[in-house]
Structure formats: C-alpha cells, structure tokens
A and B are shown apart, each in its own frame.
Chain A
Amino acid sequence: MRPVYMITGGITKFTKANPEKDFRLMVKEAFDYALADVPGLGREDIDGSVCSYFSDHFTRQLKAGAMVQDYLGLCPKPSRRVEGGGATGGLGFQSAWEAVASGRMECCLAMGFETMSRVNTWKGNEFIALASDTNFDYPVGGFYTGYYAMMVRRHMHEFGTTVEQMAKVAVKNHANALHNPYAQSPARLSVGDVRSSPMVSTPLTILDCCQMSDGAAVAILASEETVKRLGVRPVRVSGLGCGTDAMRMADRPHGKVPLLPHEDEADYAQLKYPGVHSFRGGRSAAAQAYAMAGIRNPAQDLDFVELHDAYTSSEIQTYEDLGLCRYGEGGAFVDAGAPFLANLDYGLDFSGMERFARIPVNPSGGLLACGHPVGATGLMQAVFAFWQLQGSIQKHLGDGTLQLPEPRRGLIHSHAGTGTYITVSILEAE
C-alpha cells in the first residue's frame, strides 16, 4: 500500500430541512466547494467515487448514488455505494482510501449525504430503529435513544457517571458550534438547560441527543504524485481501523478489555467488558489505527478528536474506547475540562485536570450541534479535521476561534448502531 492524502473537502450547511435542494444538488455544492479550494483540480482529475448514504427509506429513491454520480458529471467513471448505519461516512472515507492506497485510483472522491426531513421526526426514528434486529429488538423498543439510555444507565452503574457530566458534553459541543457556521444548532447552554429540556428516554433529554438533518459532505483523497502535481498542502491519512460488534446489544460478551499500549491489565481487573456500557468495536478500531500510525499514548500523541457524539453519553463512552482516559474515567475527564477548548468560556468550573492530558474533542461542535445527516456525518468530520490540520479554519468558517494552534495529528471516529460498525481514521499534517 502507498501513502494516501486528503487534498480537499467541502460541506453544505447542515439544517433541519432543506427542501430547496435535493441530495444531488447538495453533494454538488460540497463537491464544487472542494474543487474550488484547489486551483488546478478539476473533475477530470477524479478517477472515481464512493457514495455514502444510509437509508433508502428517507428519500424513497433506490440507487440514489448513481444519480449523484451523473449529476456531478462523473459518468462513466467507477463508483460504488457504501452503507453502514451511522458509520456510513467513515466507511466511505476508508473505502476511498483503499481505492488510492491500492493503486486502483490516483484520486478518489468520497461523497456522502442524507435528506432526513422528507419524513416526520418520529417516522425518521422508526426508520433508524429498523437498523436494529427486527425479530427481537425493533418490535420491543423500536427506538435508538432507548437503547443508548440503557447503555449509559449501565455505565452510570459501573462507573458512577452522572447526568451532569453528560450535560457538560452538550454544553461544550453546542458552544463550540457558535463559531461554526455550518452547524445546525449552535447554542449557549447550561447544565440546567440540558437537564430541564424534555425527557426522551431516561436519563437522556432531548439536548443529550443529536438532531436529524439534511446535508452533504465530500472528501477528496489522492496519491503522492497527484499531491505533487497539484501543489496542494495535503494531510496524510496515517492510520485506519474498523471494529464491529453484535447487532443486538443483549448479545455482547462480558469478558476482558483489549488493552491499548499505554494501559495495564490491572487497571481493569474487575471490569466485565464490553457488556452494554462500552463499545468493543471502537476499542478495536482505535487499536488498529494507533498501531498503523505509531500512536502509543493517544491523549498525548493526538492534538484533537472529532468523534461520533450521537448522544452526550456515547461521547463519554467513546473517550474511554479511544483511550483518551481509562474505562470509567470518562465522567471525570469531562469534569476536568480535558475535552474542552482552552480559549472558550463555557460558563463551567473544571477540576481534576492533573489526572488528564487536554485533548479537544469535537471542536466543530460534533453531531450534537452540527446535526447528523447520516451518510454525510463521517465525511463532515474528515473535512473539519482536514481544515484544522491545514490551519485553514478561519478561511473556511470565516471565524478562527476554533483553530487549534498548529495541530499535527487528529482522529476522526464514525459509529453505527449500538456500536456495530465503528471506524477510526488518523489524519496528519505534512
């Protein structure tokens, strides 16, 4: 395999409903933005594409990817659809990486979208719930927030995680998004606001959950020769991993924790893993990506993380899977302020930072504040990570507040189901 670089990206503004544009036009907008950002890059340079979108139910249009391919003027070049629930965008990104790494393509477009506004919110929740076992899970609960609520209830039981710690994640991500014009729901919130918002599934309130969204995002990946020819400032994709787990969370084992290089078996002597409190697929994906990128201690070796915070609770659970802190420390990690941006005032008091390394998580605002147009989400993370590493946040967001000082290495994390498919990709400034 050869080195692969991300050379540009684009996104549409994520919004609750965008009936003015269909999925083809939204992807086209993101694609044209990405092309315009690299002088000398044109459609003729794109050897093929991967199209990521989750549910045919939302558009009632099968083979929608073929329509995007022709709308962008990319026929008769190769294309395929990639689908894997919430991780669809992350899987699409990795599929485009494979096309370039293998030498099959010099330059591959990963393009993703979802238009979720075409049905009402509760029908949308039903469609999403169909991504759970339809014999045993869907007919009983039929609601993903309910599944995540059960997972975090167990996390609270095992580790003492609190609803206030979860609420602080919502405060953080919505406040970060105040500086991101692409975000759907930027807001200045307090812990009280989150807890007093309508209860969805105990203990998760509506502000603990991400929103459905219409949106598109693209990432263009290329070989070293293409990078040199175009003279762009590239970001190298230095590590990839993908993990899985049983579709039904009831089937998850209660065994041993697979350790990351900086962890010790004694840390988890009493812990039955993953149970329903942790995401084994996320740990597996991270371990593969870290090994490939040469990361020994993630909280120190990474400068930021864009992770799949469909729920405040799953952001806390994911800190632990990624090894930013130990299993059970996710809540304390939040209380310490470790995942918060140093230059923003969140209206919160932090304590206990001596235990952790600061590593901003979801500086973009994440899914909680940006929205979650499923097939676009994992690519949206790639675009924000790319702009961070290029140092071009000011240029693309029109506001430099979220720009980290000279970040070298970032992680993007895309997550499906109750942890059934999870991707981790590492991006590095060159």
Chain B
Amino acid sequence: MNKNAKLPETEEGTVLFNVDPIMLKYHYEIDYLHSYAQDSPFFAGLAQKKLLGSHCPACETTYATPRSHCMDCGGATHWTELPQCGRVHTFTTCHFGGEAFLKETPFTLILVEFDGAETLFLSRLLGADPDEVRIGMEVQARFVRNSKFLATDVYFVPA
C-alpha cells in the first residue's frame, strides 16, 4: 500500500473550445475494413473498364445498379455487362456536399438510364457545364486508369 500514489501526468494539453459550458474539441478517426462482399465483381469489373449489372432470369429484370438477389422474386441474379452508353434520367450540380466531398465541388450527379435495364445508375457527369445538362441527353461511360475500387472509378461524359 502507498498512500502517496500519484497518477503520472503528461504535458499534452486539451483543446478547450469553450469554457462555459466547457466544450472540448478532439479529433476522431478510424480505419475500416469495408468489404464489398457479394458486390465485389462490380468493382473488379470497373478495373477492367466494364460496367456490370445484375439480371434476374426468372423475372427477366436487369438491374443497372447490381444486387445479387432479385428485389421482386428473391432469386439469385447473374452478372451481366451493361452498355456503356446511356441517357441522363435526372441530374443536379452540387455546390456543397458532405465534408469529405467539399473539395470536389461543384460536381454534377446524374442517374443514368440504359436500354435494356429497368433500374438506374448513380454517377458523376464531367465535360458539361451545369446549364448544358438535359434530361434525355446521351452520355458515355469513362473509366479511371488507376482503379481505386470505388464507384467513382466510372464516370460519364457527353456522348
């Protein structure tokens, strides 16, 4: 037993953001191991400059954003290559965004519709000023050369 036990102290300070009430400011960061799991072939496809969707053989539905099981019948879908030309279904130009994307603003988001697919695909449109974008406009897929295995490895430009 030691009645004079003392907690060792360090020189590190605390960032006080406010004193009344007391508010601390601290940084928070974490490394995740995010698995694409059953969606992985889509991201592998981007690295090969392929746009992969899902097809349900029972419902004859083609999903432009992949899902390994069908939303209607619950059956397993198989991978199918989508055309690399589509049309703008809708669009917006973002002048603000989540913190992680602020440095990329302004950027234009589009939902792309493809012939032969029942659902849409979210992507970015480059090469068109905000006031040049139209619903129904033809767009062409482009792929980054150094794949990052992100959905942004594919983007679209005016066809």
Minimum Cβ distance to chain B for residue A380 (Å) = 24
B58 sits at the interface (CB 8 A): no
User: B95: which of A198, A249, A253 is its contact (CB, 8 Å)?
Assistant: A198
User: B97: which of A120, A142, A154, A204 is its contact (CB, 8 Å)?
Assistant: A142
Q: Which residues of A contact B100 (CB under 8 A)?
A: 126, 142
CA distance A157 to B90 in the complex (A): 9
Q: Are A201 and B95 in contact (CB under 8 A)?
A: yes
CA distance A88 to B21 in the complex (A): 29
Q: Are A140 and B93 in contact (CB under 8 A)?
A: no
Minimum Cβ distance to chain A for residue B69 (Å) = 12
Closest B residue, CB atoms, query A209: B96
**Which residues in window 239-281 of A have CB below 8 A to B?**
246, 248-254, 276
Q: Are A135 and B99 in contact (CB under 8 A)?
A: no
A76 sits at the interface (CB 8 A): no
Minimum Cβ distance to chain B for residue A23 (Å) = 14
Given contacts A120-B99, A251-B63, contact A136 B122 (CB under 8 A): yes
Interface size class, chain A: 35 or more
B39 sits at the interface (CB 8 A): yes
Q: Are B151 and A140 in contact (CB under 8 A)?
A: yes
Given contacts A19-B18, A276-B90, contact A153 B95 (CB under 8 A): no
**Which residues in window 110-141 of A have CB below 8 A to B?**
120, 122-123, 125-129, 134-137, 139-141
A42 sits at the interface (CB 8 A): no
Q: Which residues of A contact B111 (CB under 8 A)?
A: 150, 249-250, 276
B144 sits at the interface (CB 8 A): no
Which residue among A139, A140, A145, A153 has the maximum number of chain B CB atoms within 10 Å of its CB?
A140
A27 sits at the interface (CB 8 A): no
Q: Are A251 and B92 in contact (CB under 8 A)?
A: no
CA distance A20 to B19 in the complex (A): 11
Chain B 140-152 interface mask (CB, 8 Å, partner A; 1/0): 0000000000111
Q: Are B101 and A143 in contact (CB under 8 A)?
A: yes
Q: Are A202 and B39 in contact (CB under 8 A)?
A: no
Q: Which residues of B contact A246 (CB under 8 A)?
A: 71
CA distance A250 to B130 in the complex (A): 21
Q: Which residues of B contact A136 (CB under 8 A)?
A: 39, 65, 122, 151
CA distance A204 to B95 in the complex (A): 10
Chain A 177-189 interface mask (CB, 8 Å, partner B; 1/0): 0000000000000
A235 sits at the interface (CB 8 A): no
Q: Are B65 and A146 in contact (CB under 8 A)?
A: no
Q: Which residues of B contact A135 (CB under 8 A)?
A: 36, 39, 151
Minimum Cβ distance to chain B for residue A271 (Å) = 15
- Among B7-15, B76-84, B113-121, the one that faces the other chain is B113-121
Minimum Cβ distance to chain A for residue B50 (Å) = 16
Q: Are A276 and B65 in contact (CB under 8 A)?
A: no
Closest A residue, CB atoms, query B150: A139
A149 sits at the interface (CB 8 A): yes
Q: Which residues of B contact A128 (CB under 8 A)?
A: 98
Given contacts A126-B100, A153-B90, A276-B90, contact A60 B123 (CB under 8 A): no
A411 sits at the interface (CB 8 A): no
Q: Are A253 and B98 in contact (CB under 8 A)?
A: no
Q: Are B151 and A252 in contact (CB under 8 A)?
A: no
Q: Which residues of B contact A126 (CB under 8 A)?
A: 98-101
Q: Are B92 and A149 in contact (CB under 8 A)?
A: yes
B139 sits at the interface (CB 8 A): no
Closest B residue, CB atoms, query A60: B28
CA distance A281 to B111 in the complex (A): 20
Q: Which residues of B contact A153 (CB under 8 A)?
A: 90-92, 135
Q: Which residues of A contact B23 (CB under 8 A)?
A: 19
Q: Which residues of A contact B63 (CB under 8 A)?
A: 251
Q: Are B150 and A122 in contact (CB under 8 A)?
A: no
Q: Which residues of A contact B55 (CB under 8 A)?
A: none
CA distance A125 to B95 in the complex (A): 13
B124 sits at the interface (CB 8 A): yes
CA distance A19 to B34 in the complex (A): 34
A151 sits at the interface (CB 8 A): yes
Closest A residue, CB atoms, query B154: A140
B89 sits at the interface (CB 8 A): yes
Instruction: Name 15 A/B residue pairs within 8 A (Cβ), A-sorted.
Output: A60-B28, A126-B100, A126-B101, A135-B151, A136-B151, A139-B150, A140-B122, A142-B100, A150-B92, A150-B111, A202-B130, A246-B71, A250-B65, A253-B118, A276-B90
Given A142-B101, A251-B63: 9 more A-B contacts, CB < 8 Å: A19-B23, A126-B101, A143-B101, A145-B94, A202-B92, A202-B95, A249-B120, A250-B120, A251-B119
